[in-house]
């Protein structure tokens, strides 16, 4: 059996983590072996890097450092979790992946997208997600949801204009790669989003 690599991405509070749990349930019920993981993180080292990236001990970290740490965590994740799982024929459901680097470090912070593309090729080779679900909703609603859940991390303290650029970059990428992306209307009740996501999964598990 051939595994599939599926990513959930989007701005803060879009409901990715909530929907990934439903996707996991749906795919397991359909008989697939599924690995659920996240970025930055997904390995012991990656989770330590995540703490450096999201915590406030290194506020003002250089953009190059931030980007390289994202890719360092990703290299470890690919080597230890993602490639082995796909090799076994498992499905991998990942909460964020390289599109988040394009959107946050590229669109949000202004790093040249070509530099991210170079790192992507170096770290990933030819590996790209088979499908990316872009959970889209307004920045106001997303930040309000994320704010209710926990204290702001190093990214969540950015202003509205930053997240508008992040959202716009996700849209640009989705429109450039329509075969790989599905845009999900995340500004609906949880059960309605779930139905939309499950109809997408139904189409690829036929």
Query: Using CB under 6 A as the criterion, which residues of the chain lie in contact with ligand T5A when the complex forms?
Result: 12-18, 39-40, 54, 70, 95-96, 100-101, 104-105, 145-146, 148-149, 155, 188-190, 193
Nearer to ligand T5A, 33 or 114 (CB): 114
Q: Please count the CA atoms within 13 angstroms of the CA of 153 that sit on its side-chain side.
A: 12
Closer Cβ to ligand T5A, 37 or 101, answer by number: 101
Taking the complex as a whole, the smallest distance from the CB of residue 50 to ligand T5A amounts, in Å, to 7
Closer residue to ligand T5A in complex, CB, 3/40: 40
Minimum Å gap between C-beta 1 and ligand T5A is 28
**Residue 70 tokens, joined:** 């994202």
Shortest Cβ distance from residue 89 to ligand T5A (Å)? 25
Q: Specify the DSSP class assigned to residue 82.
A: I
Between residues 34 and 137, which has the closer beta carbon with respect to ligand T5A? Answer: 137
* E strands, the chain, in order: 5-10, 34-38, 91-95, 131-136, 181-185
> 82, 7, 91, 69: which is closest to 43 by C-alpha?
82
* Residue 178 DSSP symbol: T
Find the DSSP H helices in 150-189: 160-176
Min. distance of Cβ 155 from ligand T5A in angstroms?
3
Kindly report the number of other CB atoms within 10 A of residue 154's CB atom.
17
- DSSP bridge partners of 38: 95
Closer Cβ to ligand T5A, 57 or 148, answer by number: 148
What is the closest distance, in whole angstroms, from the C-beta atom of residue 185 to ligand T5A in the complex? 9
Is 82 in contact with 33 (CB distance < 8 Å)? no
Min dist. Cβ of residue 2 to ligand T5A (A): 25
Q: Which of 96, 164, 88 is nearest to 132 (CA)?
A: 96
Nearer to ligand T5A, 85 or 139 (CB): 139
């Amino acid at each position: 059996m051939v595994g599939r690599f599926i990513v959930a991405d989007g701005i803060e509070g879009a409901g990715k983590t909530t929907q990934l749990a439903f996707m996991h349930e749906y795919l397991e019920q359909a008989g697939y072996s599924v690995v659920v993981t996240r970025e930055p993180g997904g390995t012991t080292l990656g989770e330590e890097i995540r703490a450096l990236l999201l915590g406030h001990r290194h506020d003002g970290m250089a953009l190059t450092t931030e980007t390289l740490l994202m890719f360092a965590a990703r290299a470890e994740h690919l080597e230890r979790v993602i490639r082995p799982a796909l090799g076994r024929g498992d499905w991998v459901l990942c909460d964020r992946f390289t599109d988040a680097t394009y959107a946050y470090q590229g669109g949000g912070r202004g790093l040249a997208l070509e530099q991210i593309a170079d790192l992507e090729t170096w770290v990933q080779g030819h590996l790209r997600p088979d499908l990316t679900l872009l959970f889209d909703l307004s920045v106001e609603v997303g930040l309000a949801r994320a704010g209710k859940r926990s204290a702001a991390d190093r990214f969540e303290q950015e202003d509205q204009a930053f997240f508008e650029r992040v959202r716009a970059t996700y849209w640009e990428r989705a429109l450039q790669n329509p075969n790989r992306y599905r845009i999900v209307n995340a500004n609906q009740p949880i059960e309605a989003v779930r139905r939309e996501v499950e109809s997408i999964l139904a189409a690829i598990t036929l």
